[in-house]
Structure 1
């Protein structure tokens, strides 16, 4: 039987009334411990006096008429302070690791510079700048020690959540600018990139990104559907014109940027297809998560833009209306797509796309001079046509020799000098991590001429592939190769030497010299027949000497601009240089230093370019199979440790 709340089975006797109250109730004086203020204001902390605690102003500051400010993070018994202490300890640990690795590899001048900073008790921030430590301020060691002891006594073994060090900005000289950590860079698989679901959006914000101001401000709309961020598109466009465009020059920089800013879809010089193709290549220089198609695949950089470009190209190729697939901008877009596929290690697909660009260009009369009679064109359009035609010729000549494919292409009939002397100022971008860079001349006309001179020789070298297939005599084969080498060597004598370029370094000047050295190695790769030892020894000599000089160029570039950004044109040169030196590596200091330098570039590029990662993987496997005794420095680089530090 249930009892309702209106009926109580038990009856208690009524209480007798208490005595009448004579006084009002008094406040309880019950024992409550006075509240201890664990947070003191900064003024009281400095004066080492007792503080009444929040809220400001405290009693002491009110009496002294001083400014009162409370910083809860300075309270060493709070969890926020524990988190900060752990992060600062991590910063000190990373700085120590960077310092040790740098001291192991530093030459005498750099070692002396670091030791002088230490002897002069320079701020830790200055030392971190030199050795590639974390880009942060460092707490006072004594205060940090006290904080550590208090944190341990307060929390013991309780876990404290802190954000990972992946979001910690790094100095320019550190390899972590390229990879999230040295251990992340492996040979067998792409380096691990943080999964998007577990990455806080705040971790994308670093000191560098906050200070980053793109060189060129361009709109995202109406050019791409991949992102609506004007900043991201401006960032990528700035990267492309800083690091990749000078060595390729498929388009006119001034004309393209002017039309992109105007945001006119009817433009003949800027289209969504061309913009997305350009953004795909530029993404290989960016560590932003927005350029990845898969957050756990570092090689998916730029894939969203490439997929969009491919979709647009297929739509235009099938269209029957005014969007003709034979427009100049579409030819330029195919050249960009060709380069992107090559960086991904898809050489066959890259060659096919380049073939499409050549056919379209020939159909448009791009290699003819002057323009076809029925066409009406402006001087601006004529200049861009000439520039694009020579860009196709350069890429086709280089790729055919690299892939050992006989595919001769006639030179454009227009003189490259008709592109004019229009030039730009050049400065490394992003600029936030260093402020001492001076503005230099990009020297774009000189770079164009230099690349054309080398490509003409490469185009002629393709004839050796035909002769080899026709069974030419070894003597004739070698004699013709020697003639081509003399032409390349003569060109090298006219171009600034490595020591001259070190005085006023500009990456594109290194690129052109490196491309000539790459051509020499490729030339003797064609005629290097082990069955002919009288010629093989000379071929080996020319190849190794070119690889040594190539390594000098790489080292000069690294000293000036670190490994953070490397022009993509240097990738194929690093690959062929590594293959040659891995084959002829000896115990000489010159050989090992050159191989180590190329390994550094190979590892850095391999983190972003699958094509280079394959070469590095092959070299490592070969070294293991042949049981090569490699120096400790090279082993560390091939294992992904310390390859990015600037010794």
Structure 2
């Protein structure tokens, strides 16, 4: 027996296995583990809490048993995630309701088909959220981004039929993919061109299709500048110079256009002038409007030369003289109308002289339609010439406002009587619009932009009057503030109408400037419920644009920092949006990407003397550097304090448990 057992293989004891002497006796009472967080009553009694509601000590003592989640960091994180999940589900429900209620001929059929095909909640959310594909892809690691983009890109690409088929070669060396170039050209002439129109579309497309590098209305410089702008509207990964870098939209085409423009060595041609307009636009959207301003100065000089030599350019034309005349007039109209929008927004003096130009015939040609590419939907009447003429007339008034406020002879403090005269002229312009473009609802982007441009001018010029009014002028101050908040809400209404009709990713670039000025105007009047709602609605639009455009990102951060600095009481929804923006989108490195003149309107209007030094202090990149550092420091301090409080709470719990266990051991 003994011999047999001596030959038995001995199993080695595992490191974590208790020894025989350490195994608990069956008769030994089992120790009850403490709860990870004691209830409030046990904390007060300084007794051991074993968990559960009610816990055993509270049940025996017949006391109320409550858990304080705020003192438990782990529970608070889980609780926060649960709230975020519920908020996402609620937002999805509201999106579904709004889609079914107001978008029956567009998105609703697709949503219903997804639901009936047993699509997941995530797929439905992706379909509804027009900004999700690009924004979520921007935040993913490169490998996951490629997989996610490919999944949804394939679906969209299959149904993507460009409005305009054009060749990639010989116009650009960035890509030889004609389908992609056709996609970008179609996006540009659908969403950008109706708002900032300095190119005769039909003449440009005809010459681009000809592949003739010597054509009059198309050139590699112009094509690359257009493609660079169009990349800000695309979901294609080819629209990024670096697919792993969200801020690189259109940079490859932009750099190619700038290179070609440099090689032109200042040669004055129609397409070179037009290209400068789009290069300026790209630079601004990238958050580099200091560079953009340099191109705007070049545009002003080129426009001056074209106005002086217009007849000579037309006489030297080999071919249809009327085509060249029409194209030059379109360019001069469009670039002049761009100038006051830029100078008012940047609070700079006008740099283009007021031109004497003829109006376009408002003939309402049957072929003058606008189709919301890439959506398959019915076309709307574009009213292109009516919009051109209306924009030009509005531009003349805005030019005079800009010259008065920021020109060489600007007053120490704006005269309220002169500003009131501008306002009456703006009202007369608004009342005199043709019937075809006087309605903002169910209108193409060009008409929507026209109305927002009007309200933007009202907001800016009256914004310089308010700081100069004293307490004895309270009635006048209230009247002006009422005019401004009304215009701000009108901008919000137009932005909401756009979002209800088309995806926010196609909102024209001017919209972020209008939204920012409107938010600044509403920031000081949030005691009224209507203003609160409008503020939140506009903030939603700007936040969506901030996912795609660097300048919109900086503008939204400026709004957030201004509200923090002024200690403004924001609507709850707005606070949530801004907090989410700060946590998900904004990083300390973002401000380093800016070289921006864009002013903080809430600060710049406070300087009654209107000195250039004061304007410089209100510029976007300077304020972001100063205020963002302060905000991030405060946030870091708050985080450190919260972490310290959580650690202290956990240490107290641990000490209580250790003390109670030692006390139990002593009694045993």
Work out whether the TM-score is over 0.5: yes
Q: Distance in 1 between the 2:280 and 2:231 partners?
A: 15
1:338 aligned onto 2:280? yes
Q: Deviations over 1:507-563 (max 9, x none)?
A: 221110001111111111233324545254443222211101111111111111131
The 3 A distance-change label for structure 1 pair 126 and 539 is closer
Q: Residues 111 and 127 of structure 2 are in contact (CA less than 8 Å); yes or no, is this contact kept in structure 1?
A: yes
| 1:545 corresponds to | 486
Secondary structure at the residue paired with 2:338? helix
Superposition map of 1:211-222 within 5 A: 211-222=159-170
TM-score (norm 1): 0.68
Q: Distance in 1 between the 2:510 and 2:236 partners?
A: 22
Q: Distance in 2 between the 1:367 and 1:376 partners?
A: 16
| 2:35 corresponds to | none
1:257 aligned onto 2:205? yes
Q: CA shift at 1:565, angstroms? A: 1.3
1:100 aligned onto 2:90? yes
Q: CA shift at 1:505, angstroms? A: 2.7
Q: Distance in 2 between the 1:136 and 1:640 partners?
A: 32
Q: 2:341 aligns with which of 395, 398, 402?
A: 398
Superposition map of 1:508-547 within 5 A: 508-530=446-468, 532-533=470-471, 534=473, 536-547=477-488
Q: Residues 283 and 302 of structure 1 are in contact (CA less than 8 Å); yes or no, is this contact kept in structure 2?
A: yes
| 2:330 corresponds to | 387
| 1:129 corresponds to | 111
| 2:384 corresponds to | 444
| 1:412 corresponds to | 355
Q: Distance in 1 between the 2:199 and 2:145 partners?
A: 40
Q: Residues 404 and 410 of structure 2 are in contact (CA less than 8 Å); yes or no, is this contact kept in structure 1?
A: no
Q: CA shift at 1:597, angstroms? A: 1.4
The 3 A distance-change label for structure 1 pair 464 and 139 is closer
Q: Distance in 2 between the 1:105 and 1:230 partners?
A: 36
| 2:397 corresponds to | 457
Q: Distance in 1 between the 2:180 and 2:334 partners?
A: 27
Q: CA shift at 1:194, angstroms? A: 4.4
1:482 aligned onto 2:420? yes
Superposition map of 1:360-371 within 5 A: 360-363=302-305, 365-366=306-307, 370-371=311-312
1:579 aligned onto 2:520? yes
Q: CA shift at 1:607, angstroms? A: 1.6
| 1:494 corresponds to | 432
Aligned residues: 488
Q: CA shift at 1:426, angstroms? A: 1.1
Secondary structure at the residue paired with 1:171? helix
| 1:237 corresponds to | 185
Q: Residues 166 and 209 of structure 2 are in contact (CA less than 8 Å); yes or no, is this contact kept in structure 1?
A: yes
Superposition map of 1:58-97 within 5 A: none
Q: CA shift at 1:633, angstroms? A: 2.0
| 2:44 corresponds to | none
Runs of at least 5 residues in structure 2 that lack an aligned partner in the other structure: 1-83, 582-668
Q: CA shift at 1:503, angstroms? A: 5.2
Q: Distance in 1 between the 2:175 and 2:363 partners?
A: 35
Q: Residues 99 and 108 of structure 2 are in contact (CA less than 8 Å); yes or no, is this contact kept in structure 1?
A: no
1:359 aligned onto 2:282? no
| 1:247 corresponds to | 195
CA RMSD of aligned residues (A): 3.5
Q: CA shift at 1:113, angstroms? A: 5.3
1:225 aligned onto 2:165? no
Secondary structure at the residue paired with 1:206? helix
The 3 A distance-change label for structure 1 pair 580 and 139 is closer
Q: Deviations over 1:400-441 (max 9, x none)?
A: 12222122533333303269866532111112xxx4x21112
Q: Residues 492 and 537 of structure 2 are in contact (CA less than 8 Å); yes or no, is this contact kept in structure 1?
A: yes
Q: Distance in 2 between the 1:350 and 1:499 partners?
A: 31
Q: Residues 303 and 352 of structure 2 are in contact (CA less than 8 Å); yes or no, is this contact kept in structure 1?
A: no
TM-score (norm 2): 0.66
Q: CA shift at 1:170, angstroms? A: 3.0
1:192 aligned onto 2:139? yes
Q: Deviations over 1:475-499 (max 9, x none)?
A: xx11010000011112222348999
Q: Residues 203 and 217 of structure 2 are in contact (CA less than 8 Å); yes or no, is this contact kept in structure 1?
A: yes
The 3 A distance-change label for structure 1 pair 574 and 355 is same
1:603 aligned onto 2:543? yes
Q: Residues 440 and 448 of structure 2 are in contact (CA less than 8 Å); yes or no, is this contact kept in structure 1?
A: no
Q: Residues 603 and 613 of structure 1 are in contact (CA less than 8 Å); yes or no, is this contact kept in structure 2?
A: yes
Q: Distance in 2 between the 1:408 and 1:382 partners?
A: 24
Q: Residues 281 and 336 of structure 1 are in contact (CA less than 8 Å); yes or no, is this contact kept in structure 2?
A: yes
Superposition map of 1:275-314 within 5 A: 275-314=223-262
| 2:268 corresponds to | 326
Superposition map of 1:140-179 within 5 A: 170-179=126-135
Q: Deviations over 1:260-310 (max 9, x none)?
A: 111111111100110000000000001211111222322211011001111
Q: 1:180 aligns with which of 108, 120, 136?
A: 136
Q: 2:373 aligns with which of 429, 436, 448?
A: 429
Q: Deviations over 1:360-398 (max 9, x none)?
A: 2323x3356644696346110111011111112111122
Q: CA shift at 1:250, angstroms? A: 0.9
Moved more, 491-500 or 540-549: 491-500
Q: Distance in 2 between the 1:543 and 1:252 partners?
A: 36
Q: CA shift at 1:634, angstroms? A: 1.8
Q: Residues 369 and 380 of structure 2 are in contact (CA less than 8 Å); yes or no, is this contact kept in structure 1?
A: yes
Moved more, 519-528 or 536-545: 536-545
Q: Residues 277 and 306 of structure 1 are in contact (CA less than 8 Å); yes or no, is this contact kept in structure 2?
A: yes
Q: Deviations over 1:308-362 (max 9, x none)?
A: 1111111111xxxxxx721110000001101111112222211110111221232
Runs of at least 5 residues in structure 1 that lack an aligned partner in the other structure: 1-93, 118-124, 142-164, 182-190, 318-323, 642-647
Moved more, 278-287 or 627-636: 627-636
Q: Residues 427 and 440 of structure 1 are in contact (CA less than 8 Å); yes or no, is this contact kept in structure 2?
A: yes
Q: Residues 398 and 457 of structure 2 are in contact (CA less than 8 Å); yes or no, is this contact kept in structure 1?
A: yes
Q: Distance in 2 between the 1:361 and 1:515 partners?
A: 22
Q: Residues 221 and 261 of structure 2 are in contact (CA less than 8 Å); yes or no, is this contact kept in structure 1?
A: yes
